[in-house]
């Protein structure tokens, strides 16, 4: 019959391994906890779109969009972009993430543009995005990807009949 080690022998052999492995496991668990419990952003972009966009009588389609940059901090937030054309940039993709339409490129000055958002308030901007109806399929889902004052957001909508 083979010799079985006693409990005290097992404890003596396992203690150095436990002392090394236990802190390592705790560090991994702490890293996972920190990664999954990030604090909410203090300055962020929210986009409001209608759930469905349909052509009007003349056949055109307009996507009414409202952009809100919320400042939840106790200090003013300074928004800064490299030029006025970079204040609002957008493009629309389909379910396969193929670009369907993007913002036209107007001629703009490349001077830096700055906007201030007061503490505990929001900067609100509304615009109508004219959609090229020939590029959209009725009933399909699309996604508006935007960059407004350097903050990004992603919002879906459908094209109705």
Direct distance between the N- and C-terminal alpha carbons of the chain, in angstroms, rounded to an integer: 82
In tens digits, what is the pLDDT along the chain, a chain of 161 residues? 667 777 677 677 777 777 777 788 888 888 877 766 666 789 999 999 999 999 887 878 999 999 999 999 999 999 999 888 889 999 999 999 999 999 988 778 778 899 999 999 999 999 999 999 999 999 999 999 999 999 999 999 999 87
pLDDT of residue 39: 63
pLDDT of residue 29: 83
pLDDT of residue 47: 96
157 closest CA partner among 44, 45, 66, 48: 48
102 closest CA partner among 141, 142, 139, 66: 142
CATH, range 43-159 = 2.60.40.2360
Domain ranges for the chain, please list them.
1-38, 43-159
103 within 8 A of 86, measured Cβ to Cβ: no
114 within 8 A of 78, measured Cβ to Cβ: yes
> Distances in Å between the alpha carbon of 138 and those of 64, 65, 147?
18, 20, 26
136 closest CA partner among 101, 104, 102, 105: 101
160 within 8 A of 54, measured Cβ to Cβ: yes
pLDDT of residue 13: 72
pLDDT of residue 34: 73
Q: What share of the chain is helix, strand, coil (3-state, %, to 5)?
A: 20, 40, 35
Q: What is the helix (H) or strand (E) element at residue 114, kind and residue range?
A: strand 113-117
59 closest CA partner among 132, 129, 159, 156: 132
pLDDT of residue 38: 61
pTM: 0.71
């Amino acid at each position: 019959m083979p010799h079985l080690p006693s409990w005290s022998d097992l404890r003596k052999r396992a203690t150095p391994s436990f002392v090394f492995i236990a802190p390592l496991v705790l560090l991994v668990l702490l890293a996972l906890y920190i990664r999954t419990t990030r604090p909410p952003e203090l300055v962020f972009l929210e986009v409001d779109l209608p759930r469905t966009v349909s052509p009007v009588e003349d056949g055109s389609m307009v996507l009414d969009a409202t952009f809100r940059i919320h400042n939840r901090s106790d200090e003013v937030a300074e928004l800064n972009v490299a030029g006025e054309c970079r204040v609002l940039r957008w493009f629309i993709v389909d379910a396969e993430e193929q670009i369907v339409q993007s913002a036209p490129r107007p001629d703009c000055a490349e001077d830096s543009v700055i906007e201030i958002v007061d503490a505990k308030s929001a900067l609100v901007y509304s615009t109508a995005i004219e959609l090229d109806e020939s590029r959209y399929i009725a009933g399909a889902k699309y996604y508006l990807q935007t960059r407004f004052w350097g903050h990004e957001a992603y919002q879906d909508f459908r094209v109705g009949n």
